[in-house]
Amino acid sequence: MNTQSKQYTPQGPKGSLLSGNLMAYRKDPLQFLTDLQRDYGGAAAIRLGPQKMYVIYDSDLLKELLITKQEHFVKLKAFQEARLFVGDGVATSSGEKHKRVRRLIQPHFTRAHIQTYAGQMADIVDRELHRWKPEQRRSLTDDISNITFAIIAKTLFSLEGDEYARAIREPYETINLMCAERMRVLAAMPLFVPTAKNRAYKAALQSLDRAVYAIIKARRANAEIGEGDLLSVLMAARNDQGEGMTDQELRDELMIMFIAGHETSANALSWAFSYILQQPEVERKLYEEWDRVLQGAPPTAESYMQLTYTQNVLWEAMRLRSPSFFTGRSAVRDVEIGPIQVKRGQSVLFSPYAIHHNPTYFPDPQAFIPERFENDLIKRIPQFAYMPFGGGPRGCIGNHFAMLEMVIALCMIGQRYRLRLTPDHPPIEMEPLMTLRPKNGITVIVDKR
């Protein structure tokens, strides 16, 4: 696309008079977002109900949205629904508040700092694997979520044990389903209407709140626990007036970390297994790399660097099944993105999932080929042609964290067990909720390696 031309109004599919393209989006959001790129190229205009929005795919436009003009945007208005439970933490807040918290927590997520978590990550995977027994039939997706949740709880908040995990993950499951459903309909039933669904939703929100506030209360009562961890840093922070964060502000930051930090990694890792278990050649190459590099030892921050094929398997899984399958921004003033005139209040979406299926940069886009990431593929293609972690000042803060934990978990599971999909396993389909996950999970038989 010529992004230099003076004016350009992107085109889009004709929708119905009332709901615009909402039905097509609701029916299959992944296909809808992918078809838009195929049919309209770098940018498309759509209408979801009364709201006209743009969906952009072009690298130059993405650069403006996410970097050079990012201060004119806030997180997508449609995510308002999610704010009900995640609140106004670092992933949803804007302006100075966002900058302050992001600056505060950034040191905990640098490449160097993440390395200090490697030992704890490996311990958690080891503990989880001790529960596995040969010939067992297990829900791999649940097991992996347990692992990534326990890793966040321990490394960032010094929490141990299954109790926290249950208290947070169970209500979150209900919320996740309902929130995605509410975001997809034109007008969700207001929460004060006492339908069965609304009641279940509100009860889950309350349970989630109780669990997170209990963590804060326990820490306020005993500040010595977890000295130096992310929670202690959040609690010690003071604003210009010398005031610390309120319980509600802390709750919002914790909630974001729990949710953003465990589900995406769990999905990416589950998708990686879905391909490994169906492509023996990939499995063979992984075993070869683990035997050569690790020689039976658990992976560490140092050996991580040499586990390049393992990393490429994860990059390729996140290309084909980007956990964050779409996101976007809403304009706080009239602004031009390339030649597109975005009006104040209008939203601009982008879909890493669709972008990653562009055959120009990923020939044979549906095929799982980890080797395509060899020889610095990312440096050879335009910025934002591959973007599982988003980009710019609001890109994922946990990208290094996620890669390290996923490599550690993948290696340790594979070093110890040979997994097989259950013989009667249905095809693994995609379920686009808040993130993209395998519908109905993945069930495996565990064999000793």
- Checking DSSP bridges between strand 347-350 and strand 51-56, what pairing results, if any? parallel
Of the residues 86, 122, 124, 268, which one makes contact with ligand HEM according to CB under 6 A: 268
Indicate the residue among 396 and 444 with the shorter CB distance to ligand HEM: 396
| Closest-CA residue to 253 (of 277, 280, 241, 235) | 235
In this structure, what token pair is assigned to residue 101?
């918290």
Q: Which residues of 71-92 are buried (b: 16+ CB within 10 A; e: fewer)?
A: ebbbbbbbbebbbebbbbbbbb
CA 2 to centroid of chain Cα atoms: 31
**Whole-number Å distance between alpha carbons of 352 and 62:** 11
Decide: 120 and 151 in contact? Cβ < 8 Å: yes
Q: Does 107 bind ligand HEM (CB under 6 A)?
A: no
Q: Which stretch binds ligand HEM (CB under 6 A): 160-168, 192-200, 357-365, 389-397?
A: 389-397
> Measured from the CB of residue 440, what is the shortest distance to ligand HEM in angstroms?
21
With CB atoms as reference, the residue minimizing the distance to ligand HEM is: 398
Q: Give the per-residue contact string, 202-241, with ligand HEM (x = CB under 6 A; - = no).
A: ----------------------------------------
Of the residues 271, 389, 415, 438, which one makes contact with ligand HEM according to CB under 6 A: 389
Q: Describe the chain by its helix, strand, coil percentages, rounded to 5.
A: 55, 10, 35
| Closest-CA residue to 416 (of 298, 282, 289, 272) | 298
> Measured from the CB of residue 152, what is the shortest distance to ligand HEM in angstroms?
6
Within 406-425, the residues that bind ligand HEM by CB under 6 A are none
Of the residues 207, 300, 308, 327, which one makes contact with ligand HEM according to CB under 6 A: 327
In this structure, what token pair is assigned to residue 94?
């804007």
Supply angle C-alpha 171, 151, 284, rounded to 5. 110
Q: What are the start-end ranges of the E strands in 211-252?
A: none
> Measured from the CB of residue 89, what is the shortest distance to ligand HEM in angstroms?
7
Q: Does 310 bind ligand HEM (CB under 6 A)?
A: no
342 three-state secondary structure: strand
Q: Which stretch binds ligand HEM (CB under 6 A): 173-181, 262-270, 278-286, 359-367?
A: 262-270
Within 77-96, the residues that bind ligand HEM by CB under 6 A are 90-91
Within 131-170, the residues that bind ligand HEM by CB under 6 A are 152
Q: Which stretch binds ligand HEM (CB under 6 A): 160-168, 170-178, 255-263, 279-287?
A: 255-263
**What are the Cα distances from residue 318, in Å, to 86, 91, 226?**
24, 20, 32
> Measured from the CB of residue 387, what is the shortest distance to ligand HEM in angstroms?
7
> Measured from the CB of residue 53, what is the shortest distance to ligand HEM in angstroms?
14
Q: Does 40 bind ligand HEM (CB under 6 A)?
A: no
Q: Does 434 bind ligand HEM (CB under 6 A)?
A: no
The site that binds ligand HEM (CB under 6 A) totals a number of residues, namely: 25
**Whole-number Å distance between alpha carbons of 26 and 184:** 6
> In terms of C-beta density within 10 A (0-12 exposed, 13-18 middle, 19 or more buried), how is residue 393 classed?
exposed
Binding site residues, ligand HEM, CB under 6 A: 90-91, 102, 152, 256-257, 260-261, 264-265, 268, 318, 323-324, 327, 388-390, 394-398, 401-402
